[in-house]
Amino acid sequence: MDLGIAGRVALVTASSKGLGRGTALALAEAGCKVVLCARGEEALAATAADVAEAGGGEHDVLAIVDDVTDPAAPARLVAATVEHFGGLDIVVGNAGGPPPGRAVDVTDDGLEAALNANLTTSVRLAREALPHLRAGGWGRICFITSASVKQPIPTLALSNVARTGLWAWTKTAAQDLFDDGITVNMACPGSHDTDRIRALRASGNFRGPVGDPDDFARSSPSSAPSRRSSSAAPPSRSTAPAPPASSSAPPGPAFRLLGAPGHLRCRPTRPERRGGAGRRRHPVGSSPPARRRCGRGGPRRCSRRT
């Protein structure tokens, strides 16, 4: 599948392991020049070698040891990318999730840390990248988050709050940026066999089946074709890139990628179906009855109140 992004420059954060690593590999396979970022130098070096092999070689890969949750890191990463490759076209924001916990047990410090890692960090990254995307008249921003933006997970209250906040920001920013040729999306994976899910299972905060991360790759709305390989294969060929680089995708969809066996599907979350930006069921300011016939959709009825 030709995504039309060969030669583009992509920055993928938290990309030494898991779904971030798979995303970087997919982008390299699609012909992108890829910038990797992670805290662990050893794992990052190993991923950089794999990405170079999957793509155009060592000269098309830049690996940077950094912690993307550091408030100054997004600016450093974008600057290093532009200095090395001369520009930036695709940004994939990813960061590790916060610790588990119930809603009534969250602390101020825990909430602040979760919001920084899984909301503010992504906003900073997009903000730093935007001048370069606008300069090129084209850009793709995708955040890897969680299916909890659709259905909160009871034992992951901090993650629920932060990622749902990012979903709201993404939807809002997408409308502002679409006329600039820049789309903003979220890939919202369910349970896949990554280090985080294994840790949650070990601590008793997760039960149930998990999906093969290679299936996550195949289900992505704009992923490059993935290939079956050994158990030592990278976790996914995930979002390469999401949103689709070769089409005028609707701004702001959050694509749910649910990975449990028998439940794998890829579809926009409910507000983004039928055209991407949702649809108003009755005029703003009107006072419809509790139930009324929708303007579209045949006999379906709307119970929304203003």
Tens digits of residue pLDDT in 129-165 = 999 999 999 999 999 988 888 889 899 999 999 999 9
What is the domain count for the chain? 2
DSSP secondary structure code for residue 234 in this structure: -
Mark whether 51 and 91 lie in a shared domain.
yes
Q: How far apart are CA 292 and CA 21, in angstroms?
A: 48
What are 97's two structure tokens?
Answer: 């999730």
CATH of the domain at 196: 3.40.50.720
Mark whether 78 and 191 lie in a shared domain.
yes
Mark whether 226 and 299 lie in a shared domain.
no
Mark whether 262 and 285 lie in a shared domain.
no
Structural domain boundaries enclosing 291 = 280-306
Please tell me the predicted confidence (pLDDT) of residue 22: 85
Mark whether 35 and 182 lie in a shared domain.
yes
Does residue 241 sit within a domain?
yes
Q: How far apart are CA 178 and CA 180, in angstroms?
A: 5
Does residue 1 sit within a domain?
no
Q: In terms of pLDDT, which residue wins out, 196 or 50?
A: 50
Please tell me the predicted confidence (pLDDT) of residue 259: 47
Model confidence at 289: pLDDT above 50: no
Phi, psi angle pair for 302, to nearest 5°: -115, 130
Exposed / middle / buried, residue 132 (Cβ in 10 Å: 0-12, 13-18, 19+): buried
Mark whether 293 and 181 lie in a shared domain.
no
Mark whether 86 and 194 lie in a shared domain.
yes
Mark whether 114 and 158 lie in a shared domain.
yes
- Find the range with the poorest average confidence among 151-155, 172-176, 204-208, 289-293: 289-293
In the block, residue with structure tokens 């994939």: 92
The band of 1, judged by pLDDT with boundaries at 50, 70 and 90, is low
Does residue 4 sit within a domain?
no
Mark whether 171 and 225 lie in a shared domain.
yes
Please tell me the predicted confidence (pLDDT) of residue 153: 87
Mark whether 127 and 189 lie in a shared domain.
yes
Mark whether 121 and 97 lie in a shared domain.
yes
Please tell me the predicted confidence (pLDDT) of residue 169: 96
| Single-letter residue type at 60 | D
Please tell me the predicted confidence (pLDDT) of residue 195: 57
Q: In terms of pLDDT, which residue wins out, 217 or 47?
A: 47
Does residue 70 sit within a domain?
yes
Model confidence at 252: pLDDT above 70: no
